């Protein structure tokens, strides 16, 4: 295909697609294999963005591909009215590798977070306790439904949609005193990302995470852990909370869970999960045979190919390489495993992003000076070295 084909797609997009993205990168990918993506003109790029931390197994992984082909040929969808084998098996698998006892599947991260918020409120409603308020962090990102946009601690995502869902307050990340001051007799839960992704890869400190757990224990309120981006190996552990040795009460997953097939999950401790009674929550597509088959294949490959360990090892190596190549051009390198934020000393991230694109590398650019590097978890040390060389040449 040619640049003519790309021109036509851009024209169709501009004419018919709602303009929520503005000018996109002038690229359209048609195939992928491993960490490589091929665009419509045949040019091959190395993907260090993974569709914003989604394609954990890279592209067209044979195990995921075969599992999906098999499932598509047998059964796509039934209904939650019936038992669903893959749903039951994936729920069991997620409980086996985490500290939770119950699972509910949905389709997107926002939907999982919305369900987690409902679960927290229902937990206190059942007990006749007037706790409904959710504390979240400034600069967080929890989704784009009205309620999850309200939970998101960034004004730009919610200002046009007022009135918002009542009962949300925000405090600064790592501000233990601010958090303590925000807790009151109506607080139901504290909801955080262990590493804030969207705003530039900002991890919470161990002290802050411990303070959240302590406050939740003392007040009898719930700790909600949004692992939509950090979950399923991204941070060098299966789940980010395991880096801290602190177990939340509710956790949400999405992005990497289906390796590109939309599936998200709410996981909870048994006593918390019990707050949902039949009829309290539901969704048509959540946990259908296809999406949960994808989840099972992702979990199988994560284990067989030791991708959690790979994320920890190659991630640490990549950070070292970037620090070495960029020297004083870099202000701070943040994150864990293969969730890396590089904050530059000057506001040239967009230019460097362009240069990287010329070198056929894809990364995420946040604002003027931050890169988000979230490659497939299958990358090798050699891939990391090649990327760091290319990045170094951009300066």
Binding site for ligand PLP (CB under 6 A): 52, 108-110, 113, 141-143, 193, 197-198, 226, 228-229, 254
Closer to ligand PLP at the Cβ: 264 or 330? 264
CB of 192 to ligand PLP, least distance (A): 10
Q: Determine how many CB atoms are found less than 10 A away from the CB of residue 99.
A: 14
Radius of gyration from C-alpha coordinates of the chain: 21
Q: Rank residues 222 and 263 by Cβ distance to ligand PLP and give the closer one.
A: 263
Q: Where are the beta strands (DSSP E) in the chain?
A: 29-33, 36-39, 44-47, 102-106, 133-137, 168-171, 187-192, 195-196, 202-203, 222-227, 250-253, 264-268, 330-336, 339-344, 361-362, 364-366, 370-373
* Of 148 and 369, CB closest to ligand PLP: 148
Q: How far is the CB of 93 from ligand PLP (least distance, A)?
A: 21
- Residue 110 CB, nearest approach to ligand PLP (Å): 3
Q: In terms of C-beta density within 10 A (0-12 exposed, 13-18 middle, 19 or more buried), how is residue 43 classed? A: exposed
- Nearest partner of 302 among 134, 90, 140, judged by Cα: 90
Distance CA 62, CA 54 (A): 17
Nearest residue (CB) to ligand PLP, 154 versus 306: 154
Q: Which is nearer to ligand PLP, 134 or 228 (CB)?
A: 228
Q: From the CB of 139, what's the least distance to ligand PLP, in Å? A: 11
Which CB, 242 or 360, lies closer to ligand PLP? 242
H helical segments located in 98-244: 109-126, 146-151, 176-182, 206-219
| Nearer CB in complex with ligand PLP: 228/301 | 228
CB of 285 to ligand PLP, least distance (A): 13
Q: Which is nearer to ligand PLP, 237 or 325 (CB)?
A: 237
Residue nearest to ligand PLP as judged by C-beta position: 109
Whole-angstrom Cα distance, residue 291 to residue 289? Answer: 6
Per-residue b/e over 107-132, b at no fewer than 16 CB within 10 Å? bbbbbbbbbbbbbbbbbbbeeeeebb
Report the nearest approach of ligand PLP to the CB of residue 142 (Å).
5
Min dist CB 196 to ligand PLP, Å, is 7
Contacts of 313-319 spanning 24+ positions with Cβ under 8 A? 313/236, 313/381, 314/338, 314/379, 314/380, 314/381, 314/383, 314/384, 315/236, 315/339, 315/340, 316/236, 317/381, 317/384, 318/373, 318/384, 318/387, 318/388
Minimum distance from residue 25 beta carbon to ligand PLP (Å)? 17
């Amino acid at each position: 295909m040619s640049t003519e084909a790309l021109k036509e797609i851009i024209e169709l997009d501009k004419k018919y697609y709602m303009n929520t993205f503005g000018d996109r990168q002038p690229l359209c990918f048609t195939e992928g294999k491993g960490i490589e993506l091929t665009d419509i003109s045949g040019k091959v790029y190395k993907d260090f963005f993974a569709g914003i931390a989604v394609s954990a197994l890279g592209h067209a992984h044979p195990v995921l591909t075969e599992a999906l082909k098999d499932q598509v040929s047998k059964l796509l969808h039934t209904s939650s009215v019936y038992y669903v084998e893959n749903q039951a098996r994936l729920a069991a698998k997620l409980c086996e590798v985490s500290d939770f006892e119950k699972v509910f599947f949905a389709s997107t991260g926002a939907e999982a977070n919305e369900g987690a918020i409902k679960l927290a409120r229902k937990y206190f409603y059942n007990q006749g306790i007037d706790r409904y308020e959710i504390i979240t962090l400034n600069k967080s990102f929890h989704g784009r439904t009205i309620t999850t946009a309200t939970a998101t601690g960034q004004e730009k995502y919610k200002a046009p949609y007022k009135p918002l869902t009542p009962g949300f307050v925000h405090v600064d990340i790592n501000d233990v005193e601010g958090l303590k001051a925000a807790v009151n007799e109506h607080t139901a839960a504290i909801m955080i990302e262990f590493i804030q992704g969207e705003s530039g890869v900002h991890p919470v400190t161990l002290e802050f995470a411990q303070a959240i757990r302590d406050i939740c224990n003392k007040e009898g309120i719930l700790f909600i852990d949004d692992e939509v981006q950090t979950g399923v190996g991204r941070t060098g552990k299966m789940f980010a909370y395991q880096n801290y040795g602190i177990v939340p009460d509710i956790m949400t997953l999405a992005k990497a869970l289906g390796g590109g097939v939309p599936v998200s999950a709410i996981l909870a401790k048994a006593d918390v999960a019990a707050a949902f009674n039949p009829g309290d929550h539901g969704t048509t597509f959540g946990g259908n045979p296809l999406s949960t088959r994808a989840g099972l294949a992702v979990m199988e490959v994560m284990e067989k190919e030791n991708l959690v360990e790979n994320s920890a090892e190659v991630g640490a190596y990549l950070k070292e390489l970037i620090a070495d190549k960029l020297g004083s051009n870099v202000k701070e390198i943040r994150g864990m495993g293969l969730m890396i934020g590089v904050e530059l000393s000057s506001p040239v991230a967009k230019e460097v992003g362009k240069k990287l694109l010329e070198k056929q590398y894809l990364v995420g650019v946040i604002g003027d000076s931050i890169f988000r590097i979230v490659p497939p978890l299958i990358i090798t040390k050699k891939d990391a070295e090649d990327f760091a060389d290319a990045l170094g040449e951009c300066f």
